[in-house]
Every structure is written in structure tokens, then in C-alpha cells.
A and B are shown apart, each in its own frame.
Chain A
């Protein structure tokens, strides 16, 4: 018999409702997202946005020009699907460029895969390698999605903190002063450990892991046969002559590491959402599997433009005109400017060795926003919200980068992004100066 609506006796309102719980259990515990909330707050209240990590200056002209050439050129097929695992010109140049840096022959078809931003690269890694029963070591403070992606894949995050050592009297702290305790790190590895996530240069602290620190991690990976997911999106943003060392180049590591990179951070074009993974075929084949069942293709035009960007950088590598030399030079100046600005008003910045973020201690400003004992919300989060609403200055609380249990440990720090035009940084300074004056005058 054919079912028809005439056979129903239920009132229509009951018929229509989807009555049972609909969502899949994999969404449990991953529904909260700090960015959704803070991006909204910044959009509503901020006059100066040093919160979410994106530049307020444009991508370089050569890149924008490449984009326009791609979209308006004779070859209109650039508006159609390209190769799913990466537009051929892009994977070829990435293989060439990074092959040189890694001292290794990379096959563009099997050792490189393009993704929708580094974010999707991370997603592919967790989905490909992590499942129920697996543990993933995450170094705190961490880019918040590592935890939720581990959970969504059914894995268990295991946290290990960077611990600050107090600087000498009078000196400002550096991100270098935040270190892993080797014994503590070793104790986190178990037979259930599937992977460790490394982010160097680190968001939010700006720490650039030294060779010694990377060797420590590498030794443990090799000893316990653990994978390394190496998030290197800020690889070009290193200051004071520091070197970004790729853990995959350490002995025993190429075969167990997936390197993640980002055109958004490399070329100041976060809105293009082009990222990539690199590694041995035995690992990339699983990433390709996840990719072809989730997103399949990435947008073509931006890939074409990024390929041209890298071609230029390959030719100018090490030369003064290289964007990879000019950008960190500019950003170092901005970093120093913001450091000075914050120090002058009594916020204590931790000088970052890399990235375009810096974290500052806001203890001196605590009196403005009284502590609420027994509050669920970490103090720095309430501070950041108050600051954007009342001072128009947006920043992100450091607790956003800690796991639930540890959010209240470092609750008097906030993170600023300094990839901003001079005018923006100056406006931030004006707000801070005014605030300080209000504090000191009766």
C-alpha cells in the first residue's frame, strides 16, 4: 500500500517535527568555538582589531596581479575543476621549492597535497591517522582546533605545557623562555600515542623551537614510533636572525612527519584558503583518501596564483627583493613597536621569536575588571571581552589556547596580532595610553 498523508491520524504539528535527536555523537564536545564568539565581538565593538590572526594590509602586488591574470586570461578553464590533489603548477613548484629546503627529491604527485587552507590539512591528518583508542600529544598553549579535531576523530588529547622560566630582573620575557620539561614530555608518550602535534613557530606564544628542542621531540617520536603533525604555517615569520628548522629534516623524521603549510600566512592572503601537506607517500596516500571523500577539489584560480607567487620566490630566494625576506623584516619592526607600546603602559609583553602574535601579561590592569570568584569563565576571557566592549581594542585571551582543565592556570595573558598597518598599531597605542592615563589620574 502506498503511504499517503490521508492515512495519518496524528495532528500535523506532531507529524512534521523531526522528533529524535539528530546530530551524530562525533560532534560531542567540539561544538564550542572561541573564534565564533570573539570574531563576532570584534565585528560589533572593536575600533582597533588586534584579535583574530590576519593582516590588515594587502597581499603583495605580484600575487594580486597573478590572481587577476588567472581569472581573466584566455584560459577560462581555470574557472573549472583542476586536479583534486592539487593544481599541477602548484604542486610542482611546491615540490621544487621545499625539496631544495629539505634537501630531498619530492614527487609533486605523491609527496604534496593541496588543501583548503592549513586548517583542512590538519583535518585530513586527524581523520586519516587518529581513531578511538589513539592518544595525541598536544603542546600547550596550542592553536585551539588541535584538541577538537583530535576529539572529532575519536582520539584522546594528552597535554604537555610549555613552562615559563622567570627572566632576569628588569628584562622582558621572551617566547624562548617557555620550554618543555624533557622528563615531563617523555612521560606523556605511551603505547597508545599515535601522534604529536608540533607547531613551530608557535601560535600564540611565537616560540621558535630550537634544534635541541626538536631533537628531543624527534628522539621520542622515533623511540615510540609516533607520527609528527608539523604545523609550520608561520615558517617565514622568524625574527632576530633565528632559523626555522623543519623537524622532517632531522634523522628518522621524514618518514613519520606530515608538514603543513599555508599560502594565507606565507603571502598575507588568509582569505584565499590555500594550504598544503608534504610528506612520504605512505602517509599522504591516506590524506588523499580523506580529501577525496570530503572536499575533493580545491578552488583553481587561487592555486594558479599561489603557484606563480612561489615561482617568483624561487627565483628571488635569499635576495633582498624576496617577499620571504621583506615580510619578516617589516613584521619585526611592528613587533618591536607593539612591544614598546605595551611595555610603556604596564602590560608586560613576551617577546615572540616568530609568528605575528605576541602575548602580554595584563596583571597591572586587573583592577579595572574585578575578579568574579567561582566564575566558569576564565579571567582573561572576561578581561578581553570587557576590553573590546569598553576600550574598543580586540585581543584574544590566552586561555583560549589551553585545554579545559588548564584554562585558569595562565589567566592573566592576552594575545595580540601585530600584522597590522602602522596606523592600526598607532591607534592601539592611543587607546592604551589613554587607558593608562585614566588609571593614574584620580
Chain B
């Protein structure tokens, strides 16, 4: 909330908040216009999810997961993936529980766990190489350290793959380590997979729920906003076994009851269009990913040329950058904030470029470890990246 206010200024090139400034595909907008023209679709629909939408979701995910998914009992439609996280945590987490959160993490996990009365237990991704960290794959969990975080109070672990902010795409082996611990300790897994379609060459998005023994204990969360570049539609979904989903449905019926109808209908139609071409490279799920990959590469190059060290993400639309190499002296800034917060504020003021400080994504113990990084969002139109390029090219000139 803090940083979105600053970046609302139009003179600033906004690579901070994670929202596209590209247009959603035209057929998505057309489907919404069509839906809004139908009288019945301007009134309440089924609380747990508009029938045509849950049907479409079940088809798409049956194909991806290779298992039968019942649209009425295995799916809940929510107000964004954010709403799914909230429903899941309110349904399944309470006082006395511990929830493992992998750092750096999307910042809402911690307050949501606390609001449910539970204790967040943090474990950081650790950078495994000395020297130049080139890739998000270089950030890994220490299996022994992870094992130590599990105990009899551990109710759930929150997994986010592809990860925001680093862009790490967890490998099958890494997921197996987590899965084994979940099964051993009889723990739930809350898997935030909103960036599931944004994986780049050489990487594959694997759903932890498809690993043996995991379907029964996993809630998988997805997002229309990220899938179709319509963050303002605020539609998401939770998929899992009926004995878990039913509790999310109880939360939902006591919090907002139904999600907007015309948006759900339009989303259903968009999903049918892309479901039919899931074998075709033109499917939006793949074409968006290709488009983003070239933006990623361009962003990385610009940053490197400016003397910054980007961590190339394997997935997602964020890139973290080590800014310590610039040696910007901010010691005169008389604030107790971490370095990255001060850096971003300085960068917004003096360079008219915004990003998000990485310590926003950490628990209290790890802020020092991540305070030399900032996060850029690259799902931006060419003119935005052009404007960023101008700033980055001139960066060194001004520094000299």
C-alpha cells in the first residue's frame, strides 16, 4: 500500500507494483462485453463459483494435473488469488498452529497467518554459489534446515512457485523434499501458483499436488489476473480435495458469498477458447510466456549495462537486482530503514524509476540478508521499457 501511493505519479517509470500495463487479449474484453449484455448475468450466480467457470477450470486443470476434478466439490472461486489465500488460511489455520513460510515471500502470507492466530515460521531461500548469481535457480532451500522447521504444531507450509519476487521455479526434486516432509509430518500444503503459465525456456511448472500423497493435503491456488493480464478482475480459485475445499466454501459463504457474475462468465469463455488450443503454440498461456521472456531478457540486459546485477528469473514477471554494486551512499539518510527501502526512495526521487525493496518480502530475521536487492516488474509495454532504458543508460553518466 505504501509504495503504490508513491508510484501513482505519472512522471515516474513504474516497475514496482506487479501489474501489467499491457492490454489484456481482445477476446477477453469481448467476452466481458457479451456477458454484460445478458440480463441474467448481471445478477447473483452460484456462491462457490459460476457454473460455466468451474466447469471450464475443471477441464483445464484435469488436463494439466492428469486427474479428475469435480467442478462443484473440488473448486472454489474467490476474489483473486488473494481471496483464496485468505479463505484457505481462515478455513484451515488457527491459534496453536505454525505455518512455514519460505522467504522471500509475497507479503500477505505473514499478516494472514497472524490474523488467523497462528505463528509464522520462516525459512529463507539461500543463494548457493559464490561469485555471480545469475539465475533464480541458484536460490535453494537447505533440506536439513527445512526439516528442522517442521514439528507437531506445523499445520501447513506455503509454497509459491513460480516464486514472487525471485522468479524461482521449484524443480521436481525440490518439490519432492517438501512433499516428503508434508507427508511425514501430516502437514497441509498451500500452493500459490498464480504465475503457473509464466515459465521460461528450459523450465517446467510442476504442481506439487500431482506428487504421490499430495493431492489429499494440498490447496492449489490460481489467478485470472495473472493468467489473462486482468489483475483488476480480481478472480482466483482454489482447487483441492472435497474434504478441504468444503471448509474454504464455509469461509466464503460467511465472508462475501459470491463473486461477480459477468466477470466469471467472461473468464469461463476465455478459458474455453484457450482450452481448445492447449496443444497449439498460439494458446495465450504459451504466447504470453514467450512475450514475457523477451521482455525479461531485454530488462536483464539493460540492468547489466547499467552496472547492476540482475538475478534472471526462470518464471514469473519479476526480476530481483543486487544494487550494492553501485555503492550508492545512503548513510546520510537518517532513517532506521533497511538499505533497499532507502535505495528505492532515492531511486524514485532522483532517477524517476520505481521498484520494490526486497526486505518487504522477508520476515524480521532475514531483512539484512536481502536488503541489497530490489524487485522490478517487467510485464510492461515496450514504451515503458523504452523509458526505463533511457533512465538506465543515463544512470552511469550522472554517477560519474
Contacts and interface: CB of A to CB of B under 8 A. Distances in A.
Interface string A117-152: 101100100000000000000000000010011001
Contacts of A187: none
Contacts of B247: 22-24, 27
Contact of B42 (A12, A19, A269, A299): A269
B389 interface: no
A26 interface: yes
Interface in A48-66: 52, 54-59, 64
Interface string B203-236: 0000000001100110000000100011111110
A71 B93 contact: no
Interface string B228-270: 0111111100000001100100110111111111110000000
Contacts of B143: 2-3
Interface string B45-84: 1110000000000000000000000000000000110110
Interface residues of B, number: 76
Interface on chain B toward A: helix, strand, loop, or mixed SS? Answer: helix
Interface string B25-56: 00001001100110111111111000000000
B356 to A, nearest CB: 14
B262 A27 contact: no
Interface residues of A, number: 72
B1 interface: yes
Contacts of B216: 16-18
B256 A8 contact: no
Contacts of B39: 56-58
A333 B234 CA distance: 38
A4 interface: yes
B391 interface: no
A425 interface: no
B260 A299 contact: yes
Given A27-B250, A72-B29, A116 B43 contact: no
A65 to B, nearest CB: 10
A116 B91 CA distance: 19
B137 interface: no
Given A18-B217, A23-B247, A64-B36, A54 B234 contact: no
A80 interface: yes
Interface stretch (B110-118, B283-291, B332-340, B341-349): B110-118
A24 B232 contact: no
Contacts of A296: 80, 82, 108
A3 B177 contact: yes
B171 interface: no
Contacts of B234: 295, 297-299
Contacts of B233: 79, 299-301
A30 B247 CA distance: 10
A30 B243 contact: no
Given A5-B212, A59-B42, A295-B80, A120 B232 contact: no
Contact of B86 (A56, A271, A295): A295
Interface in A136-184: 145, 148-149, 152
Contacts of B262: 67, 271-272
Contacts of B112: 293
Given A3-B177, A8-B184, A35 B47 contact: yes
A299 B36 contact: no
Nearest first, the 7 closest Cβ-Cβ pairs linking A and B are A271-B261, A300-B232, A24-B94, A16-B213, A58-B39, A76-B23, A120-B256
Interface of B: 1, 4, 17, 19-21, 23-24, 29, 32-33, 36-37, 39-47, 79-80, 82-83, 86, 90-94, 108, 111-112, 115-116, 143-144, 147, 176-177, 180-181, 183-184, 186, 188, 212-213, 216-217, 225, 229-235, 243-244, 247, 250-251, 253-263
Interface of A: 1-5, 8, 12, 15-20, 22-27, 30-31, 33, 35-36, 39, 52, 54-59, 64, 67-68, 71-72, 76-84, 116-117, 119-120, 123, 145, 148-149, 152, 268-273, 292-302
6 contacts: A27-B91, A55-B43, A57-B39, A67-B36, A68-B33, A269-B43
